[in-house]
Amino acid sequence: MSDRIPGLHHVTAIAGPPQRNVDFYVGLLGLRLVKKTVNFDDPGTYHLYYGDEAGRPGTILTFFPWAHAVPGKAGSGMTSETAFSIPADTLDAWKQRLAAAGHAFDAPTERFGERVLAFRDPDGLPLAFVAHLVAQGAVDGEAIRSFHSVTLRLAAPAQTARLLTDLFGYEAAGEEDGRLRFHAPGQAPGNIIDLVASEARGRPGAGTVHHIAFRAHDEAEQLAWREKVRSFGLFVTEVKDRNYFRSIYFREPGGVLFEIATDPPGFTADEPADALGTHLKLPPWLEPRRAQLEAQLPPLRIPEMAGR
């Protein structure tokens, strides 16, 4: 059993109309839709999961898309940027692909020695590509390989920093332009968290991150984390069955909603690897309501994956 968090499991954000969301993430960014299901706490809306070919932990970006979601704005106590690793030599090709699609992006900058291309999704969610020197994965070409990092905006980063180092086992990896970097030891995807001080309050809504999830290797390790988070003085939920993983949630001292999710059973729990994302999947307790939910959910056309 590990007493360190290896990195991110998934990031969950709020979006506007689902078709626009899938067109962007599959059609332009080339992620795979690895699961089409519903929000278990609000089953009249989709929960869409994007990731790499296999939907591995550390590559999963998920959305609750509401057609009439009110736009939000990242601020203090929220995740302000989600960054993907790309192979170091593909940044120019990504600029060309975004430009060809008429999609705006910022001039590339540099952070901690790596080139960063910042842009937003159609709902305004701040994203970035980081030309990662050690980007890993088995895919070729321009494909996104995994998360690189998330940036948290905090009124007082010191308490969150202490949680990352003293509880999760992250290591401080320096400061640059007011950005504090923390790095989970090892080479797991998405093992970097940046903290930026900000007093400005945000507003949850479309284009903002709802929560970020960290990895536990199995249920026993998750239960151990639950006790450790409680001992750290934070309120933590009971274990919730999310069908593809089990989850516990707590608000870290700066106000960001954290989750710890198990690696198993993963997205092949209810459909084969080559069919991931092709059918609406429901957890057993919602299966009796399938006809009603299918009538309620807007139809979704899955575009060809860009670059494949």
Q: Hey, which residues between 226 and 265 contact Zn ion (CB under 5 A)?
A: 259
Do 211 and 199 form a contact (C-beta atoms < 8 A)? no
Q: Which window, 10-18, 115-123, 129-137, 178-186, contacts Zn ion (CB under 5 A)?
A: 10-18
Query: Could you tell me the smallest distance in angstroms from the CB atom of residue 247 to Zn ion?
Result: 6
Cα separation, 131 vs 135, in Å, equals: 8
Residue 145 or 211: the one with the smaller Cβ distance to Zn ion is: 211
Query: What burial letters (b/e) apply to 195-218, b meaning 16+ CB within 10 Å?
Result: bbebeeebebbbbbbbbbbbbbee
Min CB(138)–Zn ion separation in Å: 25
Least distance to Zn ion, CB of residue 261, Å:
6
What is the smallest separation between the CB atom of 214 and Zn ion, expressed in angstroms?
Answer: 10
- Cα radius of gyration rounded to whole Å, the chain: 18
What residues between 259 and 278 interact with Zn ion by CB under 5 A?
259
Comparing CB distances to Zn ion, the nearer of 12 and 151 is: 12
Helix (H, G, I), strand (E, B) or coil at 87: strand
Q: How far is CA 102 from CA 23, 98, 214, 288, in A?
A: 14, 6, 34, 43
Distance between CA 82 and CA 61 in Å, rounded?
Answer: 9
Given a contact cutoff of 8 angstroms between Cβ atoms, the answer to whether 172 and 165 are in contact is yes
Smallest separation (angstroms) from Zn ion to the CB of 257: 9
Query: One symbol per residue from 183 to 222: x for binding Zn ion (CB under 5 A), - otherwise; what is it?
Result: ------------------------------x---------
Residue 116 or 213: the one with the smaller Cβ distance to Zn ion is: 213
What are the residues binding Zn ion (CB under 5 A)? 12, 213, 259
